[in-house]
A and B are shown apart, each in its own frame.
Chain A
């Protein structure tokens, strides 16, 4: 992938609003955002209802993903353009799903919903009109997803990138600051992980920074581009944003998103945890 293949601008979306082969998909946690107004023709995906298994902690399987996209009228050959609130966190997370399940042409709207709103571009409450499709997903691409044992084995061996805010990394906060802080898991970070907050990859309006700025952001923070990389956050959506930057924009091979993230790691028995601003050592 590359920036050109993975990202589209608001102007590009504006020019393709009536293109039937381009499917806009808004992905939010707070779906009232979509209901109060969305980009013309956009279908809705609810981060929790549509993308998470209703019982166990995992995301939807191949069949569930196929049923979801068929119901929304997304075809295998369509260009899917994802956007959403929270600086595209959940849109990036959904983008990662589309890649996991092998969709060939998927992109992010640079800046997401925020950029669109700050530009005072038009939103509508009209429901989209797409006929159902028969979507076929591929098998999950295991090269994009990290599990807990792999993360523990990566301590001191691979790049671990903690994309949460500095206070969450250090253990002074357990969740982003728009959420209550009482949580079950321990506070801190995985030893040897670099703290490179997802927000450093984005401008205030939610668009991604330039390639050379992104490259030096990670290199200066100690990411060795010769090694494999695992990104994590609290539940895996902010790290999907960073996965997007590293794997799709900067075209780094071997970058995985650890969607178990801190809510899993911080609850594991017996694993090492570092509290404070220093990365800590492997032993």
Chain B
């Protein structure tokens, strides 16, 4: 597998979820999912760590390390939105981002 981000994130089908600290969610505008938004993961020091475009259903998924993270969402005709999130091994941190 390369380094590139799969739109919406890697499927969990072949992933041992118990060993991963997952952050996932959905980007919404006026109650509708936003595909093609860019979701960026920044670490506790604000350092960029990963980015992916959302799927048609507005979805994204990161495999983080345990700790505090910021999810920043960029989309056409919208201001960037930052959301704080805490990740831990064996858990899925789920968020809905409204732009």
Contacts and interface: CB of A to CB of B under 8 A. Distances in A.
Interface string B6-35: 110110000110011000000000000000
B92 interface: no
Given A177-B62, A178-B52, A30 B15 contact: no
Q: Dominant SS at the A interface?
A: loop
A180 B15 contact: yes
A149 interface: no
- Of the four ranges (under 10, 10 to 19, 20 to 34, 35 or more), the interface on chain A belongs to 35 or more
A176 B3 contact: yes
Q: Considering residues A32, A86, A90, A238, which has the most beta carbons from chain B within 10 angstroms of its beta carbon?
A: A86
* Size category of the binding interface on chain B: 35 or more
Contact of A117 (B9, B41, B50, B76): B76
Contacts of B51: 86-87, 178
Given A165-B47, A200-B48, 15 more contacts: A29-B3, A117-B36, A166-B43, A166-B47, A167-B43, A172-B65, A175-B63, A178-B6, A178-B51, A179-B3, A180-B15, A181-B20, A205-B74, A233-B3, A237-B2
What are the 10 A-B residue pairs with the smallest beta carbon separation, nearest first? A29-B4, A199-B48, A177-B50, A178-B50, A165-B49, A178-B5, A120-B76, A177-B62, A29-B2, A176-B50
